[in-house]
Amino acid sequence: MPKREKTKYTLRELKEFEKLILEKRDNAQGELDFIKESLVRKNLSGTDSTQGALKTLEDGADTMEKESLSQLAGRQQTFINNL
């Protein structure tokens, strides 16, 4: 089996790679912050003016959206940690 040579990157290439990773991390952090703010707004926006079955439907939709946002936030946090 032939031996593979290791790829050596120049300092310039490494700096460029670092810059790309940091940009991705910053963008991902911004998205995570937005998701967290959305979750907070969802928790604060509950109203008691809706009555009966309509309220039940809205509560179900809100719960599903909160769960979806929570899962998205978890995946985004994992992505940031892996960067």
Q: Residue 15: pLDDT above 90?
A: yes
Distance CA 73, CA 77 (A): 6
Identify the pLDDT of residue 64: 86
Identify the pLDDT of residue 3: 79
* Structural domain boundaries in the chain: 11-82
More confident residue, 10 or 61: 10
Distance CA 23, CA 20 (A): 5
Angle at 25 between CA 70 and CA 7, to 5 degrees: 130
Q: Residue 5: pLDDT above 60?
A: yes
Q: Find the mean pLDDT for residues 71-81.
A: 92
More confident residue, 59 or 39: 39
Q: Find the mean pLDDT for residues 67-82.
A: 91
